[in-house]
Amino acid sequence: MLVVFLNPVHPVEMQDFALGLREVGATVLGVGDTPKSALPRKAKEALSAYLQVPRLLDEDDVVRRTLDGLGGRRPERVETCWEPLVIAAARIREAVGASGMSVDTVRGFRDKQLMKERVAAVGVPVPQSLRVRTADQARAAAAEIGYPLILKPIDGAGSASTYRCDDPDELERALSRMGHVVEASCETFIDGQEFTYDTICVDGEPRYENVSQYLPRPLIARSQEWLSPIIVTYRDLSDPRLKPGVTMGRRVLAALGMERGYTHMEWYRTGAGEVVFGEIGCRPGGARLVDQMNVGSSADLFVEWARAVVHGQVQVGPDKPYLTAIIFKRAQGRGRIREVRGLVDFLREHGAHVAFEELLRPGTPRRDWTQALLSDGFLLLRHPDEDTLLALANKAAQDIQLFAS
């Protein structure tokens, strides 16, 4: 089976998805903007052929060059696991007659206003929202919706360029930072805990499911540098705290016409116990969430995604031996990492529960914590008991510190 895979290099986990396709027997044509001579080892191993394009985010150009590069060949699948390219992949699918979701279906996963309209149509609770294209439209929407509200790009990913506004002054400050955004969603702020619902689907049916929780919510984590954000994945999805979100997620998948592949949904649980839809993408979660789910499930979900899209199968059961927690660290200071404090002691005492540790080492330049949740590195922990895992995660957040100068 010939599979076109858009963006097989960056972020780094895209190489694992490409390898997964090769593992299940696909012939993989990669399309990316990395020079062929600079392809990482994993990508070279995964790809049978590679098409370099000059601008990966120039959708029209990528579609045209990919169709030209196929030279009349008809791939059975056209896939991407990167949010900005899901429409391009759908356009190529339609042009060559490949299996998979149409452009219209994929827009339901990409356009946040259209998404909420389609989900609300089947009775799923969603925040009140309006599409805005100008500052005046945003002000009018705010007057209709009321404060507090959220202003974010209509086709954004994660919490980039997303702002909570509690009054008109904060709205004006947000608008001053969003000049690059063509369309935005102005929506009611939902006060509650924030969770994910993640799946690998085959013909719209979730064959693998996961629920994670953000501690704290991403909007808070992205606004306070001193925090060490944590994401926890759970074992028992029948837990009364989680089950309503899973039920809602399955309804969302049906409403939006999901076919095969990953989905990553975010949802809220209010203090009154109500569950409210947030948003969903037809791609995996970022910030090493697939690695986190792998550790909790003792599976290779890069391969299982590939098996789903190529063969319509998933070979991983529902039992999960571990809860997991990933803790993202941010150094104090600017410049290069000078010292990592507390890591040796933590590993000596709790190393049996550490699945991965990828903190930046002394001499390494700091990353821009406002642009990447991975920040200055992370620890990934696992344990079968929730209370123990949370205690370990909080200890790592408090006791391990990085310093830069």
**Sign of torsion over alpha carbons 44, 46, 47, 52:** negative
261 Ramachandran zone, left/alpha/beta (phi>0; psi -120 to 50): left
pLDDT tens for 267-276 read 999 999 999 9
DSSP line for 56-124 = TT-HHHHHHHHHHHHTT---SEEEE-SGGGHHHHHHHHHHHT-BS--HHHHHHHH-HHHHHHHHHTTT-
Rounded to an integer, the average pLDDT of 295-306 is 96
For residue 235, pLDDT beyond 90: yes
pLDDT tens for 281-297 read 999 999 999 999 999 99
In this structure, the answer to whether residues 301 and 362 fall within a common structural domain is no
pLDDT score, position 140: 95
Whether 114 is in a domain gets the answer no
Structure tokens belonging to residue 200: 């690998």
Average pLDDT of the chain is 95
In this structure, the answer to whether residues 167 and 290 fall within a common structural domain is no
Helical packing angle, 112-120 and 103-110, nearest 10°: 100
pLDDT tens for 5-21 read 999 999 999 999 999 99
For residue 92, pLDDT beyond 90: yes
In this structure, the answer to whether residues 173 and 210 fall within a common structural domain is no
In this structure, the answer to whether residues 212 and 174 fall within a common structural domain is no
Whether 149 is in a domain gets the answer yes
In this structure, the answer to whether residues 169 and 233 fall within a common structural domain is no
For 375-403, give one letter per residue: b (16+ CB within 10 A) or e.
Answer: bbbbbbbbbeeeeebbebbebbbeebbbe
Whether 36 is in a domain gets the answer yes
What total of structural domains would you count in the chain? 4
Any idea what the CATH number is for the domain that residue 221 is in?
A: 3.30.470.20
pLDDT score, position 181: 84
pLDDT score, position 401: 97
Number of Cβ atoms within 10 Å of the Cβ of 52: 17
Residue 278 lies in domain = 190-321
Indicate the Cα dihedral angle 237, 238, 239, 245, nearest 10°: 70
Whether 335 is in a domain gets the answer yes
Name, in order, each residue with C-beta under 8 angstroms of 3's C-beta and a sequence gap of 6 or more: 21, 26, 27, 28, 29, 75, 76, 77, 78, 79, 309, 310
pLDDT tens for 188-202 read 999 999 999 999 999
In this structure, the answer to whether residues 282 and 241 fall within a common structural domain is yes
Whether 111 is in a domain gets the answer no
The rounded distance, in Å, linking the Cα atoms of 246 and 232 is 16
In this structure, the answer to whether residues 315 and 194 fall within a common structural domain is yes
End position of a domain, from candidates 300, 321, 342: 321
The maximal CA–CA distance of the chain, rounded, in angstroms, is: 59
Whether 226 is in a domain gets the answer yes
pLDDT tens for 335-380 read 999 999 999 999 999 999 999 999 999 999 999 988 878 899 999 9
Rounded to an integer, the average pLDDT of 315-330 is 94
End position of a domain, from candidates 288, 321, 354: 321
Angle at 75 between CA 74 and CA 76, to 5 degrees: 115
The rounded distance, in Å, linking the Cα atoms of 54 and 47 is 19
pLDDT tens for 152-205 read 998 776 666 789 999 999 999 999 988 788 899 999 999 999 999 999 999 999
pLDDT score, position 157: 66
Structure tokens belonging to residue 238: 């029948």
The rounded distance, in Å, linking the Cα atoms of 78 and 155 is 21
For residue 277, pLDDT beyond 80: yes
For residue 29, pLDDT beyond 70: yes
Name, in order, each residue with C-beta under 8 angstroms of 394's C-beta and a sequence gap of 6 or more: 230
For residue 75, pLDDT beyond 80: yes
Any idea what the CATH number is for the domain that residue 174 is in?
A: 3.30.1490.20
Any idea what the CATH number is for the domain that residue 47 is in?
A: 3.40.50.20
Residue 309 belongs to what H/E stretch? helix 301-311
In this structure, the answer to whether residues 165 and 202 fall within a common structural domain is no
The rounded distance, in Å, linking the Cα atoms of 7 and 83 is 10
In this structure, the answer to whether residues 221 and 302 fall within a common structural domain is yes
The rounded percent of the chain whose pLDDT value lies above 70 is 99
Separation of first and last alpha carbons in the chain: 52
Rounded to an integer, the average pLDDT of 98-102 is 96
pLDDT score, position 336: 97
In this structure, the answer to whether residues 31 and 143 fall within a common structural domain is no
Indicate the Cα dihedral angle 212, 216, 221, 224, nearest 10°: -170
Whether 227 is in a domain gets the answer yes
The rounded distance, in Å, linking the Cα atoms of 261 and 241 is 26
pLDDT tens for 37-46 read 999 999 999 9
In this structure, the answer to whether residues 176 and 263 fall within a common structural domain is no
Angle at 48 between CA 99 and CA 305, to 5 degrees: 45
Helical packing angle, 59-70 and 86-96, nearest 10°: 40
End position of a domain, from candidates 321, 345, 374: 321
Rounded to an integer, the average pLDDT of 26-52 is 97
In this structure, the answer to whether residues 27 and 136 fall within a common structural domain is no
Rounded to an integer, the average pLDDT of 97-125 is 97
